[in-house]
Homo-oligomer: A and B are copies of this chain.
Amino acid sequence: MNRHPDRDQIRIESVLSALGSPVRLAVVRVLDAGGEQNCTSVLGLLGITAKSTMTHHWRVLRESGVIWQHPSGRENLLSLRREDLDARYPGLLDTILAGAVADEALATASGSATAGALASSSG
């Protein structure tokens, strides 16, 4: 049921497409900062209210090879596939993550309300 792609099945187009969404990029940032978490935890840090909406995004991130998703008890733990992504595309994840931070610095300069959510998760 998990449908994780093999490491060699991961494609850059799918990864970029998955991370091209503000919601999913935010998810990745949360996972990078906070490590393995359950769906509700990540959901709480975003502006999405419906769980079914996020189930869709987990799916996109999972099937593109960006995240692991493995059940633990009644929870479904999410984590970054760092090892695989770094192996296939060295530096990509860090560059994108750093880019998101850089973007935020410019966005806050213009005045953005949603920018604070991720900034607070790093402290």
* A90 CB within 8 Å of chain B: yes
Q: Which of A8-16, A32-40, A46-54, A69-77 contacts B (4 or more CB under 8 A)?
A: A8-16
> Does A95 contact B90, Cβ atoms closer than 8 Å?
yes
A: number of interface residues (CB 8 Å)? 28
A84-123, CB < 8 A from B: 88-92, 95-96, 98-100, 102-103, 106-107
Q: Given the known A-B contacts A20-B17, A25-B16, are A11 and B103 also in contact in the complex, defined by CB atoms under 8 Å? A: yes
Write the nearest CB–CB distance from A104 to chain B, whole angstroms.
10
* A61 CB within 8 Å of chain B: no
With both beta carbons as reference points, the residue of chain B lying nearest to A19 in the complex is identified as B16
With both beta carbons as reference points, the residue of chain B lying nearest to A7 in the complex is identified as B106
* A44 CB within 8 Å of chain B: no
With both beta carbons as reference points, the residue of chain B lying nearest to A90 in the complex is identified as B95
> Does B99 contact A92, Cβ atoms closer than 8 Å?
yes
Question: Which residues of A are interface residues toward B (Cβ below 8 A)?
Answer: 8, 11-22, 25, 88-92, 95-96, 98-100, 102-103, 106-107
5 smallest A-B Cβ distances: which pairs?
A: A17-B20, A16-B20, A12-B99, A89-B99, A20-B20
